[in-house]
Structure 1
Amino acid sequence: MSSATALGTDWTDRILELEVGPIAHGGHCVARSDGRVVFVRHALPGERVLAVVNEDGGGSFCRADVVEVLEASPFRVEAPCSWARAGGCGGCDLQHADPAAQRSLKADVLAEQLRRLAGIERQVPVEELPGGPLGWRHRVRLAVDEQGRAGLRAHRSHDVLPIADCPLTPPGTLPPVLEHGFEAATEIEVAVDADGLVHVGDDGPVIQRAAGRQWELSPGVFWQVHPALPDTLAAVVGEWAHAPRGGIAWDLYGGVGLFASVLADQVGPDGMVTVVESSRQAVADGKAALADLPQVGWRVGRVERVLGSLGPRPDVVVADPPRRGLGRELVDALCARAPDRVVHVACDPAALARDVALFAERGFRLAELRAFDAFPMTHHFECVALLVRD
């Protein structure tokens, strides 16, 4: 414990001059000051900055935000949004970096998580998706303040910022919505469908297309926010799942059945695909979209509760869990069913690396791994891993 921590010194609002170190998982870089770790936002590796401490819990680290760049990285650019700054929006962490540099930083984060949590040395590029770094976000949840004004939340805060627009959404999407008042202290989802129509709140259904199919989604039912991601993921899952004709496949956390549609084509009419999804409305929408595929069956419930009753051993399992990943209990349960391969879709590199390590304990090796920049300007990205039995 440093002397500052031992004395209980609170660094909140202190201005620190920092030599910025590597990127870390979570959208910040790592620096050190007086024996303490400082997680500094809106910085880039190798920079020298002035940063204000905005959060200090009194432990071995604190959080800070850049207020002045003294020596800039060659990859620094001007942020396209005025809210991407100290005290600003919590949505974007990397607007101050060139898009190619953003992908490189994310690749470094993935490599570090694999090394630290799974003991794997692997550098995987984070691949660019079509459409560019702005205008890609086709679904956004707005917070509504006590006065009924919609906006986005400040970083690590419940405060609602009075934005006029967001450059991550398609041009013209948000300004008309933000002009309206809403019920105070609520949230409003805004979705842009495959035809470019804007849906606000319960205004549905939302038409989406991927993998050669069309879905009519009820308001609030999950769909990826980047319009290119569903087809991209479906293609990779199809390539790696390699479900045998007449075989058995499971689609866990299957949503409306995007991956199930691909698996169904592989196993054919004599095979079986089981989708497990906790949202009843998503299952209803998925059943309607895949009504022509009788080999697809549906189970409503939490994966950990349903898994034990899914029947025969699967040839392949596709799992797209929430951000926390699968975890030991589910990995053990899946491995006990001895599938030939598992295709793991993950939106958090740390959770993925932990799961990869757990699979390795049960005799599954990481055979393939790809990563996609599905959330430009933020620290988030999407991964797909193929795990096979040795």
Structure 2
Amino acid sequence: MPRRTGELKHLIVTESPDGELMIRFVLRSTEPVARIRKHLPTLLADLPNARVVSVNVLPEHKAVLEGEHEIVLTEQQTLAMRLNDVTMHLRPQSFFQTNTTIAAALYAEARDWITDLAPASAWDLYSGVGGFALHLAGGDPDEGPAVTGIETSVEAVASAELSRTDAALHRVRFESGDATRFALDAPADEAPDLVVVNPPRRGIGAELSGWLEASGIRHVLYSSCNAVSLAKDLAAMPSYRPVRARVFDMFPQTPHFEVMTLLERRG
């Protein structure tokens, strides 16, 4: 029987489009940290493209990849992810799409669709590290829509804020919070022209679907990794009709895929 006494649980490696690496040791405890620090110069010499090395502590035995406590061992704490003409700064514990090439295509397509609509304002709900928001903002820091990104992960918001600051995008802001609660609590006169949603597999759910249905918002861009929850959410928003859609093979050699659809309010 497994004794569950080992220290190393996972090794998570993220490679940027420029070939730079983030290496994360997911450990049962902090006991090996001193040894990893001791051998860190050798690791960096053997892997000169490694930029961020960290230890994540996951003491519990459960079906998750990482714990809450992260110890960054390198001076550099973020990995630059350059997609299209946007550079995002990825911190450990920040969600990023698993397929960088397809993610770049997804964001580029979203920007093309939204550029045609020319919204004055947009919300990016479930914004993660800001992929959609930063692409929708455009290259000019003083033009483009005013974009607000909402994300529960504090680390992801910190990543997005660093990217926004680095690009000097004055009309973009990110906040940590629940997407549904943010929408429901917002004053009616502050509703944007466009809402982008990129939820987890469970979808946006009945509350947010119902709010969008009643909101009067003209367009919704919905990016989904689960067609079943997408269909359920769309059924709860009959006032919207799909006007564009595209499937992205985000997870090659699996039955899973990403689908993005642009919804427009009828009438």
TM-score, L = length of structure 2: 0.71
Q: Does 1:190 align with 2:13?
A: yes
Task: Give secondary structure in 2 for the equivalent of 1:383.
Answer: strand
Q: Does 1:377 align with 2:200?
A: no
Q: 1:389: how far off?
A: 0.6
Gaps of 5+ in 2: 26-52, 54-76
Structure 2 Cα separation of the partners of residues 266 and 343 of structure 1 = 20
Q: Does 1:239 align with 2:112?
A: yes
Report the equivalent of 1:146.
Answer: 4
Q: How big is each residue's C-alpha offset from its partner over 1:229-255, in whole Å with a ceiling of 9 and x where there is no partner? A: 221111221122347657110101011
Structure 2 Cα separation of the partners of residues 198 and 217 of structure 1 = 11
* Partners of 2:103 and 2:250 within 8 A in 1: no
* Partners of 1:251 and 1:273 within 8 A in 2: yes
* Partners of 2:86 and 2:135 within 8 A in 1: no
Structure 1 Cα separation of the partners of residues 119 and 21 of structure 2 = 41
Q: 1:266: how far off?
A: 8.8
* Partners of 1:314 and 1:337 within 8 A in 2: no
Q: 1:197: how far off?
A: 3.2
* Partners of 1:276 and 1:301 within 8 A in 2: yes
Q: 1:224 to 1:297 in 2, by over 3 A?
A: same
Q: How big is each residue's C-alpha offset from its partner over 1:106-154, in whole Å with a ceiling of 9 and x where there is no partner? A: xxxxxxxxxxxxxxxxxxxxxxxxxxxxxxxxxxxxxx98253xxxxxx
Report the equivalent of 1:262.
Answer: 135
Larger of the two Rg values belongs to structure: 1
Structure 2 Cα separation of the partners of residues 285 and 276 of structure 1 = 13
* Partners of 1:356 and 1:366 within 8 A in 2: no
Q: How big is each residue's C-alpha offset from its partner over 1:73-129, in whole Å with a ceiling of 9 and x where there is no partner? A: xxxxxxxxxxxxxxxxxxxxxxxxxxxxxxxxxxxxxxxxxxxxxxxxxxxxxxxxx
Q: Does 1:365 align with 2:241?
A: yes
Report the equivalent of 1:212.
Answer: 85
Report the equivalent of 1:226.
Answer: 99
Task: Give secondary structure in 2 for the equivalent of 1:378.
Answer: coil
Structure 2 Cα separation of the partners of residues 253 and 370 of structure 1 = 20
Q: 1:262: how far off?
A: 2.3
Report the equivalent of 2:29.
Answer: none
Choose from 311, 314, 325 the match for 2:203: 325
Q: Does 1:286 align with 2:160?
A: yes
Q: 1:381: how far off?
A: 0.6
Deviates more, 1:317-326 or 1:270-279: 270-279
Q: 1:222: how far off?
A: 1.1
Q: Give the partner amino acid of 1:349.
A: A
Report the equivalent of 1:201.
Answer: 24
Q: How does 1:75-114 map to 2 (within 5 A)?
A: none
* Partners of 2:136 and 2:145 within 8 A in 1: no
Structure 1 Cα separation of the partners of residues 133 and 245 of structure 2 = 21
Gaps of 5+ in 1: 1-143, 149-182
Structure 1 Cα separation of the partners of residues 111 and 244 of structure 2 = 13
Task: Give secondary structure in 1 for the equivalent of 2:100.
Answer: coil
Task: Give secondary structure in 2 for the equivalent of 1:269.
Answer: coil
Q: How does 1:55-66 map to 2 (within 5 A)?
A: none
Among the aligned pairs, what percent are the same residue? 33
Q: 1:315: how far off?
A: 0.7
* Partners of 1:244 and 1:266 within 8 A in 2: no
Count, aligned residues: 210
Structure 1 Cα separation of the partners of residues 119 and 111 of structure 2 = 16
Structure 1 Cα separation of the partners of residues 232 and 159 of structure 2 = 32
Task: Give secondary structure in 1 for the equivalent of 2:129.
Answer: coil
Q: Does 1:338 align with 2:223?
A: no
Q: 1:295: how far off?
A: 0.5
Q: 1:237 to 1:270 in 2, by over 3 A?
A: closer
Q: 1:243 to 1:146 in 2, by over 3 A?
A: farther
Q: Does 1:347 align with 2:232?
A: no
Runs of 4+ in 1 over 4 A off after TM superposition: 243-246
RMSD of aligned C-alpha atoms? 2.4
Structure 2 Cα separation of the partners of residues 335 and 222 of structure 1 = 28
More helix per residue: 2
Report the equivalent of 1:272.
Answer: 146
Structure 2 Cα separation of the partners of residues 264 and 244 of structure 1 = 13
Q: Give the partner amino acid of 1:146.
A: R
Q: 1:306 to 1:194 in 2, by over 3 A?
A: same
* Partners of 2:137 and 2:172 within 8 A in 1: yes
Q: Does 1:306 align with 2:185?
A: no
